[in-house]
């Protein structure tokens, strides 16, 4: 038994509560079998928080997130809140949470499960065995840089401006996360920018190179322009192990990489903050999918992305690699046995509900744990 870890659970909107429900049962299994010791509390984020409190994230929710050892979120948003002013939209709640927690490194694994190799739009031989990790800088770059805005020029034309900006420390902290991850995986890191046309890209490349020489020369480092990386991800994705890139390129490339796997309902993510002197590190785990309003309330959403997000929490926040391995292996076995929610089923093949997928995971966990 380890120290009791505090987890804040934020089910959110749409299918969020449905996939959270299945995930909670998996969390409870780890508790009941004595493998972990968690204190789990729940709160509102997104549209449901707006409905109750008139804001998509209350200051108290942020306080609770900052006090937790890790936060696990379902999904937020939906048409019900689409016409609210920008500041009240569910997405502002999530952005505010990420900003408040200062989670600057977004980890998006894109593994292809053998049993789902035919779900990809690419040929099986291109994606079979694929296991990429994209590390995206999340708190800087063109989404946050000043100056920004839309202005009207003296000649009546309008001009929109955004500024791509990175400092040495912002580059080093995200590159460090990526180098450390590479060491635990295939020991290969590809740093991606547009140093051919952007000064911020030149700085990015120089600083990653310096950090590599100073602290990580054992890791195999390469550099690639973002446009080439997009092409290489589709041409020969298995050449990559860990990719590190900025906020804008990371946004696009991580979506591209996730689609190589062909299954949005399967993909987890983690967003990590700086490691404090005490060793504590803020961490937010969430499936990459949204609230799927088209299927919300039907009980057919795939809960595996959130269950795998919980596995990432076990691995990265709690250093429980054996438990994370057990859960990932369980998911693999369930898929190999042919259990499928509708999103990952082949046409005409039987499908199961969210709850039934959760139950299949619990059954296999019990079997594997002996």
The residue annotated as part of the active site, out of 69, 166, 194, 225, is: 194
Among 55, 28, 26, CA closest to 40: 28
Known catalytic membership, residue 28: no
Token digits for 249?
Answer: 């390129």
Cα(327)–Cα(149) distance, integer angstroms: 46
Known catalytic membership, residue 316: no
# of chain residues touching ligand NAD (CB under 6 A): 22
Cβ-based nearer residue to ligand NAD, 164 or 291: 291
Kindly state the smallest distance separating residue 207's Cβ from ligand NAD, in Å. 30
Q: Where are the alpha helices (DSSP H) in the chain?
A: 16-32, 47-53, 59-67, 90-101, 124-127, 168-184, 199-215, 226-235, 247-260, 304-316, 321-336, 354-368
Q: Select the residue interacting with ligand NAD from 111, 140, 262, 290 (CB under 6 A).
A: 290
The residue annotated as part of the active site, out of 28, 82, 227, 325, is: 227
The residue annotated as part of the active site, out of 88, 131, 251, 355, is: 251
Q: Select the residue interacting with ligand NAD from 20, 36, 61, 75 (CB under 6 A).
A: 75
- Identify whether the C-beta of residue 137 lies closer than 8 Å to the C-beta of residue 177: no
Provide the b/e sequence for 251-276 (b: ≥16 CB within 10 Å).
bebbebbbbbbbbbbbbbbbbbbeee
Cβ-based nearer residue to ligand NAD, 97 or 174: 97
Binding of ligand NAD by 361 (CB under 6 A): no
Cα(122)–Cα(83) distance, integer angstroms: 37
Half-sphere exposure in the Cβ direction for 40 (13 Å, CA): 19
Binding of ligand NAD by 49 (CB under 6 A): no
Rounded to 5°, angle at Cα 110 from 106 and 116: 150
Cα(93)–Cα(98) distance, integer angstroms: 9
Q: Select the residue interacting with ligand NAD from 103, 189, 267, 301 (CB under 6 A).
A: 301
Binding of ligand NAD by 96 (CB under 6 A): no
Among 340, 287, 350, 331, CA closest to 119: 340
Q: Which stretch binds ligand NAD (CB under 6 A): 73-81, 160-168, 195-203, 309-317?
A: 73-81
Cα(47)–Cα(57) distance, integer angstroms: 9
Among 143, 156, 45, 145, CA closest to 101: 45
Q: Which stretch binds ligand NAD (CB under 6 A): 159-167, 195-203, 290-298, 311-319?
A: 290-298
Cβ-based nearer residue to ligand NAD, 77 or 141: 77
Residue 279 backbone class (left: φ over 0; alpha: ψ -120 to 50; beta: rest)? left
Binding of ligand NAD by 294 (CB under 6 A): yes
* Binding residues for ligand NAD restricted to 322-351, rule: CB under 6 A: 343
Binding of ligand NAD by 295 (CB under 6 A): yes
Q: Select the residue interacting with ligand NAD from 302, 309, 317, 330 (CB under 6 A).
A: 302
Q: Which stretch binds ligand NAD (CB under 6 A): 59-67, 175-183, 190-198, 301-309?
A: 301-309
Half-sphere exposure in the Cβ direction for 219 (13 Å, CA): 32
Q: Which stretch binds ligand NAD (CB under 6 A): 54-62, 75-83, 189-197, 230-238?
A: 75-83
Q: Select the residue interacting with ligand NAD from 11, 17, 56, 77 (CB under 6 A).
A: 77
Q: Phi first, then psi: what are they for 167, rounded to 5°?
A: -105, 165
Q: Select the residue interacting with ligand NAD from 137, 286, 328, 364 (CB under 6 A).
A: 286
Q: Which residue ranges make up the site for ligand NAD (CB under 6 A)? A: 15, 19, 75-78, 91, 94, 264-265, 286, 289-295, 301-302, 305, 343
């Amino acid at each position: 038994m380890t120290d009791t870890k505090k987890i804040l659970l934020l089910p959110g909107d749409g299918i969020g509560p449905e996939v959270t429900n299945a995930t909670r049962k998996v969390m409870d299994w780890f508790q009941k079998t004595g493998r972990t010791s968690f204190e789990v509390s729940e709160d509102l984020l997104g549209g449901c928080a707006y409905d109750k409190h008139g804001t998509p994230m209350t200051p108290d929710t942020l306080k609770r997130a900052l006090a937790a050892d890790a936060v696990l979120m379902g999904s937020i948003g939906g048409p019900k809140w689409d016409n609210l002013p920008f500041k009240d939209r569910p997405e502002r709640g999530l952005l505010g949470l990420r900003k408040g927690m200062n989670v600057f490194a977004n980890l998006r694994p894109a593994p292809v499960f053998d049993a789902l190799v035919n779900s990809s739009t690419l040929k099986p031989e291109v994606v079979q065995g694929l296991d990429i990790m994209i590390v995206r800088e999340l708190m800087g770059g063109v989404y946050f840089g000043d100056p920004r805005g839309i202005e009207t020029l003296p000649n009546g034309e309008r001009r929109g401006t955004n500024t791509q900006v990175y400092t040495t420390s912002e580059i080093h902290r995200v590159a460090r996360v990526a180098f450390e991850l590479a060491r635990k995986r295939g020991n290969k890191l590809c740093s991606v920018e547009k140093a051919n046309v952007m000064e911020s890209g030149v700085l990015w490349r120089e600083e990653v190179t310096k950090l590599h020489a100073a602290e990580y020369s054992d890791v195999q480092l390469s550099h690639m322009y973002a446009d080439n990386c997009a092409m290489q991800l589709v041409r020969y994705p298995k050449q990559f192990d860990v990719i590190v890139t900025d906020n804008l390129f990371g946004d696009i490339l991580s979506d591209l990489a996730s689609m190589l796997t062909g299954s949005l309902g399967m993909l987890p993510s983690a967003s990590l903050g700086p490691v404090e002197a005490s060793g504590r590190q803020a961490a937010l785990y969430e499936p990459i999918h949204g609230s799927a309003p088209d299927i919300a309330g039907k009980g057919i959403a795939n809960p595996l992305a959130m269950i795998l997000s919980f596995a990432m929490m076990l691995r990265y926040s709690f250093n429980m690699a054996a438990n994370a391995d057990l859960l990932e292996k369980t998911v693999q076995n369930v898929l190999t046995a042919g259990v499928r929610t509708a999103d990952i089923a082949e046409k005409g093949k039987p499908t199961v509900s969210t709850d039934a997928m959760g139950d299949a995971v619990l059954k296999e966990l019990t079997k594997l744990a002996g």
